[in-house]
Structure 1
Amino acid sequence: MIQIFNGPPAGLQVAPHDVRILAAGHQVAVREVDFSKVHDKDSLMLAFLSGLGLTDRFGHNWDALFDVLTDPASTSRRLALVLYDYARFRNRRNNLSAQLESVLIDAQRAAAEQGRDLWLLMEEADSNTRHW
């Protein structure tokens, strides 16, 4: 099996089993965003606020999210963003997920241009894999 952190980030990818252990072994910081209660843009922004440990000064909009994900001062040089229960969210909120994916992929490209890695990893809602 190919180790996901051996190669560069490539769009949205399925999170490997034991992603947190693998990330630690490759010195990759992990932040988790839970989509199980996201139903609109406001709750989506709150999920990122919580998952990324942002302050209330976070702008709650697409530009602010992009800025946070691409700011070298606010994120690790090697960051895995674990999107928990994302596939179900994508099925429920197709238009909103399309907007989010555009921002995430743009942030991933911008991070790469800065010499940084931003993995976007989807983890399914399964009590056996959720560790937080």
Structure 2
Amino acid sequence: MSIFDDAPDGIQPAPAEPRLVAAGAQVRLREINLGHIRDKDDLMLAFTNDLPLTIGFGRNWDALYDVLSDPEIMPERLALVLCDYPDFQRHHAKLAAELGRVLLDAQMALAGHGKALWLLWDLPESEG
């Protein structure tokens, strides 16, 4: 049994070997590195670097939501692995709360279009 056998449900712990598990479940996986985030600009840059966003991506919460919830561009089954998420939450509580709201809203919007967006957190390599 895999996390991808069930519908996405909030921000969940990533399975061991998430790339392998996602490939076996035919889920596209993207990793977002949150380990070096200092502010909102860094966070938006991380999403820009780790997702195939257009050059015109607005680097704000509304733009991030628009991209992540767009059923025309999102694959049927996508997993975002939020690398170093627990540390990010500890060090940037307000920013993490805003990000969580956007991600959960996008997850719900895509579900309304029959698409799945798993939001998975992962520990740093040294802790995993």
SS at match of 1:50: helix
Distance 2:53 2:38 in 1: 20
Cα RMSD between the aligned structures? 1.3
AA partner of residue 84 (structure 1)? C
**How many percent identity over aligned positions?**
49
Shift of 1:126: 1.1
Distance 1:36 1:92 in 2: 10
Distance 1:42 1:54 in 2: 15
TM-score by length of 1: 0.92
What is aligned with 1:65?
Answer: 64
Unaligned runs of 5+ residues in structure 1 are none
2:113 is the alignment partner of 1:114: yes
SS at match of 2:67: helix
Distance 2:88 2:127 in 1: 19
Q: 1:104 to 1:126 in 2, by over 3 A?
A: same
AA partner of residue 8 (structure 1)? A
What is aligned with 2:12?
Answer: 13
AA partner of residue 109 (structure 1)? M
Segments ≥4 residues shifted beyond 4 Å: none
Residues 120-129 or 16-25, more deviating: 120-129
Written as runs of structure 1 = structure 2, the 5 A alignment for 1:1-132 is 2-127=1-126
Shift of 1:77: 1.0
Distance 1:128 1:105 in 2: 26
Shift of 1:104: 0.5
